[in-house]
Amino acid sequence: MGWDEQSRRNVLAGMGAGLVAAATPMTALAGSKRLAAPVKKLRYAVVGLGNYAVNQIMPRFKDTESCELVALVSGTPAKLEKYGAQYNIPATHHYNYQNYDKIADNPDIDAVYIILPNSMHAEYTIRAAKAGKHVMCEKPMANTAQECEAMIAACRKAKVKLMIGYRCHFEQYNLHVIEQVRSGLIGKPHVITAEHGFYAQPGQWRLDRPLSGGGSMMDIGIYSLNAARYLSGEEPVLVTATESTDRTDPRFKNVEDQIDFQLKFPSGVIANCVSSYSTGHNSFRVTGEKGWIGMEPATPYTGHQLWVRKGGKTEQVTLPPPSKNQWAGQLDHLAECVVSGKEPIVAGEEGLKDMRLIEAIYRSAREGRAIKVGA
C-alpha cells in the first residue's frame, strides 16, 4: 500500500480493567523462538515512495535491530532527492522504474520492500528475484492467485526469501488474542466476527480496478479475512459472500463497495466478516463456550483496545508497551529468516492463501452460491 498519482503515472489473558499482561513473542504464530539478531544488517531498498512507505515503513528502520535502509526506487525525481537527503542515501542508490533491474549490480542492496499498487507487485517481485534480492511485498500479494504462484516460483528459483507485509502478525495485541484463544480462555470457539472498513475518498488508485484488482475486499477486507484465519487457526472449507455496491456512486465505476462474507472452518467455527469502502469498522471478536475476547480497534497502527468477557463480567486488558513495534518486528523477521534459512511466518504461501479465498469470495458474490474451498 502507499502510492501517489505522479508515481502512478510514472508508473494490515489476563483479566481485569487496566490489567498489565505479558506480551506475546512476535513469532508466536509460527510457534518458534525468536532468533538472535544477525551480525550483518539486512540492507533494504524501498520500492514506491507513497504515503505508507514514507510515513510508516521508512521511519521504522531506526527501530530495528537487524535492518538498514540503503536505497530508494521511485518514478518521481523530487521524491528521490527529498528522501535521499533525509535518510542519507546517495544518488548512486536512487533508482526509477526503468532502471530498477540495475539493483542486481549493487552489492549494498540485500532486499527490497515493494510498496506499489497491487497490480505491480508480481512484476517487481519477480524482477527483484531475478536480481538476486530478497523480497518483502505489501498485501494483498497480487491481483490474482496465478500471479502469487508466479512470485513464489520466481523467488524459489532464485533462492531468495519472499515475505508478505502482514504487520498484524507482529503486533502484540493481535498475538495476545491468538495466544488466549489457543490457551482455552474462552473455551471452544464457535463464532468469529471481523469487520473492517472506511470511507474511501475518490480519485485514488484503490478505486481503479486495473491497479487494485478490486475494491474494498482487495484493500481493507483482507484484514477481516486474514484475522478470521489466524484467530481460528484453521483454513476455511466453505465461503459465502454478498456484495452491496451503489453503482451511481462515482467511486464505484469498476470496483465493489461492501462485501459481507462468511467462512466455515473444519471445526465448525463460523466467521462473519465485513469489508467496506463506505462505513467505518475495525474490530474482531471470538466467542466461545465460556465467553468472548475481542478488540476494537483491532488492527490500526496504534490505539489497540482489548476486552474479555467471562463469568458475566466484561473487562479491559492493557498490555505494556512493546519492546519493538509491529513494523520493526516485521522488518527484522525477514532479516532473521535470511540468516537462519527458515521461511517467514508470513511467506508467499500466506499471501497466496488469502488471494485464493478472495477469488472464492468474489465468485460466491457473483454467482450467488456457496463455494467450497481448500480441497
- Active site residue: 79, 139, 264, 353, which one? 139
Distance of CA 285 to the CA centre of its chain: 19
Give catalytic status of residue 83 as yes or no: no
299 three-class SS:
coil
* Of 328, 326, 325, the residue nearest 41 (C-alpha): 328
Active site residue 139: yes
* Residue 286 CA to its chain's centroid (Å): 20
Task: State the Cα–Cα distance between residues 315 and 371, nearest whole angstrom.
Answer: 38
Give the residues across from 284 on adjacent strands: 194, 295
Provide φ and ψ at 19, rounded to 5°. Answer: -65, 135
Active-site entry in 44, 124, 223, 230: 223
Q: Decide if 284 contacts 225 (C-beta within 8 A).
A: no
Q: Do 56 and 301 meet the contact criterion of CB atoms below 8 Å apart?
A: yes
Q: Is 79 within 8 Å of 49 (Cβ atoms)?
A: yes
The pairing of beta strand 258-264 with beta strand 162-164: unpaired
Q: Output the CA–CA distances (angstroms, integers) from residue 279 to 248, 263, 330, in the order listed.
A: 17, 21, 29
Asked if 139 and 354 count as a contact pair (C-beta separation under 8 A), the reply is yes
Residue environment code for 109-130, b if the CB has 16+ CB neighbours within 10 A, otherwise e: bbbbbbbbbbbbbbbbbbbbbe
What is the rounded CA–CA span in Å between residue 176 and residue 126? Answer: 35
C-alpha cell of residue 299: 488492527
Catalytically active residues, by annotation: 139, 223
